[in-house]
Amino acid sequence: MAPRKVFGIVLAGGEGKRLMPLTEDRAKPAVPFGGQYRLIDFALSNLINSGLRQIVVLTQYKSHSLDRHVSQTWRMSGLLGSYVASVPAQQRLGKRWFSGSADAILQSLNLIYDEQPDYIVVVGADHVYRMDFDQMLEAHIASGAEATVAAIRQPIGLADQFGVIEVDPARPERIARFLEKPTNPQGLADSPGEVFASMGNYVFTASALIDAVLRDGERTDSGHDMGGDIIPAFVAQGAAGVYDLKRNIVPGSTDRDRYYWRDVGTIDSFFDAHQDLISVLPVFNLYNREWPIYNQQVNSPPAKFTRDAKGALGTVIDSIVSLGTVVSGAHVERSVVGPWSTIGSGAKVVDSILFDRARIEAGATVHRAVLDKEVVVEAGAEIGVDRAADLARGYMVTESGITVVGKGSRVRAAQPAEPEPAAQA
């Protein structure tokens, strides 16, 4: 029997409005994460580790940074037709952008026709997780379904935050209903306090997916969305299966991080996901050698921790510090520091995320803040300490109190108030 052929599609065209200002100058999948990664690296690493060797990344909004990252980081040898290719909207069906994730695949069917795969794995580009898609593919083939949706168990009280899958009691491997953010869903038969939430990852029999997006493209009442239109169409035909992430055993995973999956679509969830990385026993473990998360290999020296000019020692506690960074007599705690950053004498960085080439000058304080690339916090300046002051300076502050500073900004120290004139005798 000829070996099956599997094609990977990464949907990377989202704007990421809820991550502003981090997405002001880049697509959401290109947002830095975990010091030296981009969000898309998690999806691509999972596909590569699962054995896929022909993968396209469908891009659209502000894609330059993302396209450059894919071309520089995900170079394949080209042997046996291996590649990871970034593909922008090609306007093959008219002078228009993608109108949804299903329309992105419809407008890119030439890529599928060229490869003629048996199965297609479709994933999002902005979630943090590990998953072996080969195991999901085996389950899809064995089930006889035309479409299979990966699902993670979530507390029933959080159901209104997800697309929720309800299974057929007579055939629990098949989807009976696909509900978008329901307020009163049914719990699982084996765990009434939980629901199946869609992970946004799918496996399709190739011919079935082609037929589905062609039919959807003819509809005028469709949003042309994978989760909102394509999957419900398969459900209506009784042809959609569910794959419980608990069936997926990733090599090197631990009981603590085995079923980790986080949608980092907001600043708060983005911040929380970073906190998951830095605990002594991390909720998501970046140090799994058996299932690595690949990233761009930058020619950088190791991180360096030094005394300052006066001989004062710095401290780094429960933090990730990337290559090229120098911490000199400063205090860093519960933070993630990106490549080539500098943190000067007496500075404090606590509960924060610093992107590449941040510069925290002597005596500055950064607290519960996210600093984009090349942000400078001047000597003695504070950010994330006084919510009202941050808002007055034009910075975005979330309801939970996380301050976000846009790319290339300079946070200046407060100017001392001028003394009032002396009263006249």
Identify whether residues 269 and 363 lie together within a single domain: no
CA atoms within 13 A on the CB side of 261: 24
Identify whether residues 44 and 166 lie together within a single domain: yes
Beta bridge mates, 147: 204, 240
Distance, in Å, from the CA atom of 28 to the CA atom of 62, rounded to the nearest integer, reads 9
As annotated, the binding site includes 163, 180-181, 198
For residue 308, what pLDDT is reported?
Answer: 85
Runs of H (alpha helix) within 50-119: 64-73, 101-106, 109-115
Find the CATH number of the domain harbouring 316.
2.160.10.10
- Taking the CA atoms of 205, 211, 214 and 216 in sequence, report the sign of the dihedral they define: negative
Residue 1 lies in a domain: no
As annotated, the binding site for alpha-D-glucose 1-phosphate includes 163, 180-181, 198
Identify whether residues 137 and 21 lie together within a single domain: yes
- What's the pTM? 0.92
Q: Cis link prior to 21 (omega < 30° from 0)? A: yes
Distance, in Å, from the CA atom of 55 to the CA atom of 218, rounded to the nearest integer, reads 27
Find the CATH number of the domain harbouring 226.
3.90.550.10
Identify whether residues 367 and 266 lie together within a single domain: no
Is the separation of the CB atoms in 247 and 133 below 8 Å? no
For residue 421, what pLDDT is reported?
Answer: 61
H or E stretch at 179: strand 171-180
Residue 425 lies in a domain: no
Q: Tell me how far apart the 2 most distant CA atoms of the chain are, in Å.
A: 105
Identify whether residues 50 and 181 lie together within a single domain: yes
pLDDT in tens, the chain (425 residues): 457 899 999 999 777 788 999 999 898 999 999 999 999 999 999 999 999 999 999 998 888 888 898 888 888 766 667 899 988 877 666 667 677 888 899 999 999 999 999 999 999 998 999 999 999 999 999 999 999 999 999 999 999 888 899 998 888 889 999 888 888 888 998 899 999 999 999 999 999 999 999 999 888 888 888 988 999 999 999 999 999 999 999 999 988 888 999 989 899 999 999 999 998 888 999 999 999 999 877 788 999 999 988 888 889 999 999 999 999 999 999 999 999 999 999 999 999 999 999 999 999 999 999 999 999 999 999 999 999 999 999 999 999 999 999 999 999 997 765 556 655 54
Residue 297 lies in a domain: no
Identify whether residues 268 and 308 lie together within a single domain: no
Distance, in Å, from the CA atom of 91 to the CA atom of 341, rounded to the nearest integer, reads 41
Residue 309 lies in a domain: yes
CB contact set of 226 (below 8 Å; sequence gap of 6+): 11, 100, 101, 102, 105, 122, 200, 202
Q: Whose CA is closest to 234, among 153, 159, 172, 178?
A: 178
- Select from 221, 244, 278 the last residue of a domain: 278
Residue 128 lies in a domain: yes
**How many Å from the N-terminal Cα to the C-terminal Cα in the chain?**
105
Identify whether residues 350 and 247 lie together within a single domain: no
- Select from 262, 278, 294 the last residue of a domain: 278
Is the separation of the CB atoms in 104 and 90 below 8 Å? no
C-beta neighbour count of 181 within 10 angstroms: 11
Is the separation of the CB atoms in 233 and 215 below 8 Å? yes
Distance, in Å, from the CA atom of 175 to the CA atom of 19, rounded to the nearest integer, reads 32
H or E stretch at 151: strand 147-155
Q: Name the residue type at position 46.
A: N
- The parent domain of residue 70 ranges over 6-278
C-beta neighbour count of 142 within 10 angstroms: 10
Identify whether residues 322 and 216 lie together within a single domain: no
Identify whether residues 52 and 196 lie together within a single domain: yes
Identify whether residues 164 and 68 lie together within a single domain: yes
Residue 295 lies in a domain: no
Residue 401 lies in a domain: yes
Identify whether residues 394 and 263 lie together within a single domain: no
For residue 236, what pLDDT is reported?
Answer: 93
Q: Count up the domains in the chain and report the number.
A: 2
Identify whether residues 90 and 12 lie together within a single domain: yes
Residue 343 lies in a domain: yes
For residue 81, what pLDDT is reported?
Answer: 79
H or E stretch at 268: helix 267-278
